[in-house]
């Protein structure tokens, strides 16, 4: 176990190093300097700015500096918001995004599993078709269209929810639903197919033969085993929720890190783009690692081998 984790950590570090290096050089190659805006800056001011941010030094010094400062969890200053650092932006926006993401994750997992189980228990009946049509719709509709439609119909036309902003729990319902829609559909399909497979197993027949009720069989024997593939999906799921939040936060006017990121893209605020990308990558790499470890703990048949493959 320890060997497995340390090996994984090593490969995560390697990936991170690659990401940081790539973002650094990509951002240097980006068109336009960091201070080129509408107005042309006088050369003296530009020189001072370059000196202040250390941009006049050779690239390898800047590069090693950047690596060292990220290791110290310092993402540097924002070039567009004077006096604010990328860390400030992350500290401000991330809690909001985290809350929204967790709510969406919870919604996606619980509703997705529920739909999938209902569909599998009523295989080839109307409940099954209904749930799967719902799931196919969820997969086929891009999140920004889903979010705009939810906002238009439920908030503007029917007035059931607030239209935008981030004030009370009521405000969080629509964005979380919009964010959860696609992953929920994936989970429903995954649960259904794995549930169908489990239900055809011998131990389910044994449980029936010894007279257990349908509820007991479903909960104790079927669902527990059927959920294993769903656990592996949690890694990609967190990635989906995270990138989905860019669009959802923008539509609902939520002051999270996602909308901050989108803003920095349209502002071409290179240091913020860099910093937030690296931050998101760290987050995702570690959540995938956590999911893999959890998977090994839940399913004793899976050995987290530290040595050669096929051990």
Site residues, another protein (CB under 8 A)? 11-12, 14-15, 18-19, 22-23, 26-27, 29-31, 136-137, 139-145, 148, 152, 156, 239, 242-243, 246-247, 251, 262, 265-266, 268, 273, 277, 280-281, 284-285, 288
Calpha distance 265→30 (Å, rounded):
12
| DSSP one-letter code for 151 | I
Give the nearest distance from C-beta 44 to another protein in angstroms. 29
Give the nearest distance from C-beta 22 to another protein in angstroms. 8
CA triple 116-210-114, angle to 5 deg: 10
Tokens 């290179």 sit on residue: 270
| DSSP one-letter code for 85 | B
By beta-carbon proximity to another protein, the closer residue of 223 and 273 is: 273
Give the nearest distance from C-beta 26 to another protein in angstroms. 5
Give the nearest distance from C-beta 139 to another protein in angstroms. 6
By beta-carbon proximity to another protein, the closer residue of 139 and 294 is: 139
Calpha distance 211→272 (Å, rounded):
62
Q: Tokens at residue 311, please?
A: 């051990």
By beta-carbon proximity to another protein, the closer residue of 45 and 149 is: 149
By beta-carbon proximity to another protein, the closer residue of 139 and 212 is: 139
Asked whether the beta carbons of 143 and 178 are under 8 A apart, the reply is yes
Where are any strands of DSSP class E within the chain?
none
| DSSP one-letter code for 56 | T
Give the nearest distance from C-beta 310 to another protein in angstroms. 12
Q: Tokens at residue 91, please?
A: 């500290």
Asked whether the beta carbons of 114 and 184 are under 8 A apart, the reply is no
| 77 beta partners | 85
Give the nearest distance from C-beta 136 to another protein in angstroms. 6
Give the nearest distance from C-beta 140 to another protein in angstroms. 4
Give the nearest distance from C-beta 6 to another protein in angstroms. 16
By beta-carbon proximity to another protein, the closer residue of 217 and 235 is: 235
By beta-carbon proximity to another protein, the closer residue of 120 and 247 is: 247
With CA atoms as reference, report the closest residue to 251 among 159, 165, 124.
Answer: 165
Calpha distance 86→309 (Å, rounded):
41
- 150 three-class SS: helix
Residue 309, sorted as left (phi over 0), alpha (psi -120 to 50) or beta, turns out to be beta
- Cα 80 to Cα 40, 94, 271, 272, distances in angstroms: 15, 19, 9, 9
By beta-carbon proximity to another protein, the closer residue of 22 and 45 is: 22
By beta-carbon proximity to another protein, the closer residue of 50 and 281 is: 281
């Amino acid at each position: 176990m320890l060997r497995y984790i340390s090996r994984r950590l090593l490969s995560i570090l390697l990936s991170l190093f690659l990401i940081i290096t790539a973002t650094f050089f990509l951002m240097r190659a980006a068109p336009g300097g960091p201070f080129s805006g509408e107005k042309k800056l006088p050369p003296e001011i530009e020189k001072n700015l370059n000196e202040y941010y250390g941009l006049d030094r050779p690239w390898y010094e800047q590069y090693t500096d950047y690596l060292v400062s990220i290791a110290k969890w310092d993402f540097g200053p924002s070039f567009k918001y004077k006096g604010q650092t990328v860390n400030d932006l992350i500290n401000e926006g991330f809690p909001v995004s985290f809350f929204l993401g967790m709510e969406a994750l919870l919604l996606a997992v619980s509703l997705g599993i529920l739909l999938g189980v209902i569909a599998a228990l009523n295989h080839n009946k109307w409940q099954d078709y209904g749930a799967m049509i719902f799931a196919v719709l969820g997969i086929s509709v891009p999140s920004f269209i889903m979010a705009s439609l939810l906002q238009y119909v439920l908030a503007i036309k029917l007035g059931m929810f607030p239209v935008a902003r981030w004030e009370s729990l009521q405000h969080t319902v629509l964005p979380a639903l919009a964010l959860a829609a696609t992953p929920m559909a994936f989970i429903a399909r995954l649960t259904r197919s794995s549930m169908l497979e489990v239900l055809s197993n011998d131990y389910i027949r044994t449980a029936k033969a010894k007279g257990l009720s349908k509820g007991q069989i479903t909960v104790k024997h079927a669902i527990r085993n059927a959920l294993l593939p769903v656990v592996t999906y949690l890694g990609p799921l967190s990635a989906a929720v995270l990138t989905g939040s860019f669009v959802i936060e923008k539509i609902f006017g939520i002051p999270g890190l996602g909308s901050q990121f989108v803003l920095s893209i349209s502002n071409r605020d290179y240091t913020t783009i860099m910093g937030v990308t690296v931050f998101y990558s760290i987050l995702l790499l570690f959540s995938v690692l956590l999911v893999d470890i959890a998977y090994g703990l839940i399913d004793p048949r899976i050995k987290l081998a530290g040595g050669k493959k096929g051990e």
